[in-house]
Structure 1
Amino acid sequence: MDKINFLAGDETKALEFLKNISSKDKVAIISHVDLDGIVSAKVISKVVKYDLLKLVAYEQINEDLVKELKNNKITKIIMTDLSIDDIKIIKVMEKFADILVIDHHLFDEDFNSNKTIFINCQDHCASYLCYVIFSKTKSINELDWIVACACISDWKYFNNKAFMLKVMKKYGDKFEIVKDKTDFGGIRKSGKFWELQLKLSLALIYFGYELIKAFNLLNEDIENLNNLTKYADEVQDEIDKSVKRFEKEKESFGDIYFWVFSGRFQIKSIVATLASVKYPNKTIIILKKNQKNYSFSARRQDRKVNVVEVLKNAIFGLSNTFAGGHIAAGGGYILLKDLKKFKENLKKLS
């Protein structure tokens, strides 16, 4: 395995946490809704017997989630691929459970305590971190291909090249980094694994709030995906149409391209990524109107601007909001009433 440089915590404490789970404990796995988050949960579920599985968006890390955990008498919580902005939520959970957090997002505060183990490494995606750690308690080699897919989906394959080379070769593909005028050193965008991770990502988007169903359909057999990929075509059609709409409707604030849309599927992050590849020197910010809020995704392909800092400045002064992520990719949400102020804050930054 490639070396992992942890910015917070270490795998030794994580392994101790797993060892201390007893038959009397009730365990909850909480992870994010994208491919990295779902693969992380799949990896954990192969090693840990769980009582509750929650696949949540950032805005769902709230008091309602805490109440559900408490009502289910959960005593051990494993959270992964979730940028936790409000440490108060963790402190409330600590009153009834021990917590393990494995993440790879930017963070403001190390919340390791006698009740919480917080592990963070920003060089790798969460599913790869889980795979490395949990494979030390049980062999889970059958999941290597889907972890590699998550690495590609999350653009986290530069620091685990040995793993990517081995896994892709095992299944008849080749790990190859390409670089041209429109690609800042990304993986070759063709071949078995590129197509597979894309189809899986789109299928998860199709399922929307029924992600548990997708989770159950996703197994370790690369040749038998339970028709998961058949759902991808409808999502791809909306992506293609949205990319064209973005070109026509985007607003420009300095080096920021800004676009608001509504649609059936949560495709803002994919459209933002595609736009950022075409405009690598622009900060792409795309908002989707939902029932109660606007969710947003941001990208900056050349990494010359920290998009999380941009987003945090954009939500400054707003309530019931969130922004987090990585230097080149971020996301969050705002209330419907705050769109105008959000745009005004962005314009001040341009």
Structure 2
Amino acid sequence: MESESLEPAVEYLKNIDEDDQVAIIHHWDMDGTSSSVIISKILEKLRGCPADEVTIPAKRAYHLSDEDRQMLEDKTKILILDFNLAADELEDLNENYGDVLVVDHHNFDRVPDVPFVNPREADADAYVPCSKICLDIASNFGLEDDLRWIAGLGVIQDFGVSSCKDLFEDLEEDYEAYLPETLEQQELAKNCEYGRYSSVLNIKPYRDSAHFAKLAYQALMSSNDLKELEAQEAYRKIYEVYLEMQDEFNIAVEDYDEDREIDRQKMVIFFELESDFHITSSIATNMSAKTPEWIHLVVQRGEEINVSARCQSGRVDLGELMQEALPEESLEDGAEAGGHRKAAGASMQPEYYEEFKDNFKHLI
């Protein structure tokens, strides 16, 4: 991003001192984790210590719970990374808790009256993962070379390689043996050692995401280099569960062809799975990469319905579709939806799912 667009974040970080109580709240995926580590390492350089609290929201929802707000009560600085809270909520946090900074790349309802960095403010169609934006911020503090490897991990899992080609070309200088011959999204995600590290640390599928988010953060904060990761006890703890999760993922992939529901006219596929892991997004991403023009919706039933949607070609705007498909009455019961053009999600009470499904197909 242009340095002028990054200025709100640069100035905000410069004004944090050692007496501030700093909280980072980030999205429950690898892009969010990478972003939190990059910003915390900037703070470590500027004030001698990292953020005081780094966490994902207590619930997988695009708002903060009472538990989150309780954690923020003694904080003087609050950084929201890769997590698209509504402008009203951001301004409320800024007024009633600590000073807020937002670094994000999702669609937003309006620009909040707080320090705000988002490439979509200048270009609604821009797609730059938050970890790359945070790396651009780090370049203002002389840390770009030290933190580039962390940003790359987030960019891969957020399917942002095509918008960050220079990042991976630079990474080749130090990590050629860890990267594929072709620096393309699919190759980086699936066919190289670097992508494997990114997959292991992507805490989104794990049962206790908050616990594993902290482990991933610890592993990255303790490493000065990609080659140090596997020496970290926190990384090894994540890797053990990653292997277990991969077994469930492989079973779901095997069941996909047999159990999916296909609407050939609309070019949309619905697939329901049962798992103790949050693997809907992983399955949807995997399948959509094979058939980029098709829309894949992967559904997981529990106390509530969770849906992950993917369409790699971007022929529809999934973020808007998922929001529009939610039944109006479901919103009063806490239903939520959102995301990007090519990747989005939704959650709702089970009684609203069939209507959501019908609405979605009607809207395509």
Displacement of 1:21 = 1.4
Shift of the 70–161 alpha-carbon distance from structure 1 to 2, 3 Å rule, reads closer
Match of 2:46 in 1: none
Match of 2:110 in 1: 109
Structure 1: distance between partners of 2:363 and 2:248: 31
Q: Cα RMSD between the aligned structures?
A: 2.5
Q: Secondary structure at the match of 2:272?
A: strand
2:307 paired residue among 293, 296, 299 = 296
Structure 1: distance between partners of 2:360 and 2:205: 31
Match of 2:47 in 1: none
Scaled by the length of structure 2, the TM-score of the pair is 0.83
Structure 2: distance between partners of 1:312 and 1:26: 36
Please identify which structure carries the higher helix content.
Answer: 2
Match of 2:323 in 1: 312
Mean alpha-carbon deviation: is it higher for 62-71 or for 327-336? 62-71
Match of 1:321 in 2: 335
Displacement of 1:204 = 6.6
Q: Secondary structure at the match of 2:252?
A: helix
Task: Give structure 2 stretches of 5+ with no counterpart.
Answer: 44-49, 120-125
| 1:155 and 2:150 correspond | no
Match of 1:300, as an amino acid?
A: C
Displacement of 1:137 = 2.3
Displacement of 1:168 = 2.8
Encode CA deviations 1:110-150: one digit per residue, 9 max, x unaligned. Answer: 22x2xx11211243211111121034225263332222122
Scaled by the length of structure 1, the TM-score of the pair is 0.86
Encode CA deviations 1:85-111: one digit per residue, 9 max, x unaligned. Answer: x33321220213211111111223222
Percent identical: 25
Shift of the 120–252 alpha-carbon distance from structure 1 to 2, 3 Å rule, reads same
Encode CA deviations 1:294-344: one digit per residue, 9 max, x unaligned. Answer: 222111011111111221121141211222211111123212332122122
Task: Give structure 1 stretches of 5+ with no counterpart.
Answer: 180-184
Match of 1:213 in 2: 215
Q: Secondary structure at the match of 2:206?
A: helix
Structure 2: distance between partners of 1:193 and 1:70: 35
Q: Secondary structure at the match of 1:107?
A: coil
Match of 2:29 in 1: 34
Encode CA deviations 1:25-73: one digit per residue, 9 max, x unaligned. Answer: 22110001111111111111112232222213651622415532443x2
| 1:90 and 2:90 correspond | yes
Structure 1: distance between partners of 2:321 and 2:181: 32
Match of 1:151, as an amino acid?
A: V
CA contact (8 A) 1:35 1:204 kept: no
Shift of the 142–178 alpha-carbon distance from structure 1 to 2, 3 Å rule, reads closer
Structure 2: distance between partners of 1:83 and 1:30: 11
Mean alpha-carbon deviation: is it higher for 131-140 or for 277-286? 131-140
Structure 2: distance between partners of 1:210 and 1:311: 29
CA contact (8 A) 2:10 2:137 kept: yes
Structure 2: distance between partners of 1:299 and 1:274: 9
CA contact (8 A) 1:272 1:286 kept: yes
Structure 1: distance between partners of 2:167 and 2:65: 39
Structure 1: distance between partners of 2:2 and 2:207: 35
Shift of the 307–177 alpha-carbon distance from structure 1 to 2, 3 Å rule, reads farther
Structure 1: distance between partners of 2:13 and 2:183: 39
CA contact (8 A) 2:253 2:283 kept: yes
Shift of the 119–316 alpha-carbon distance from structure 1 to 2, 3 Å rule, reads farther
CA contact (8 A) 1:103 1:120 kept: yes
Match of 1:37, as an amino acid?
A: G
2:138 paired residue among 127, 134, 138 = 134
Q: How many residues align?
A: 334
Match of 2:30, as an amino acid?
A: L
Shift of the 137–316 alpha-carbon distance from structure 1 to 2, 3 Å rule, reads farther
Q: Secondary structure at the match of 2:70?
A: helix
Displacement of 1:196 = 2.5
Structure 1: distance between partners of 2:271 and 2:2: 36
CA contact (8 A) 1:58 1:82 kept: no
Structural mapping, 1:132-281, within 5 Å: 132-139=136-143, 141-173=145-177, 174=179, 177=182, 186-187=186-187, 189-201=190-202, 205=206, 208-211=209-212, 212-218=214-220, 219-220=222-223, 221-224=225-228, 225=230, 226=232, 227=236, 228-253=238-263, 254-281=266-293
Displacement of 1:267 = 0.9
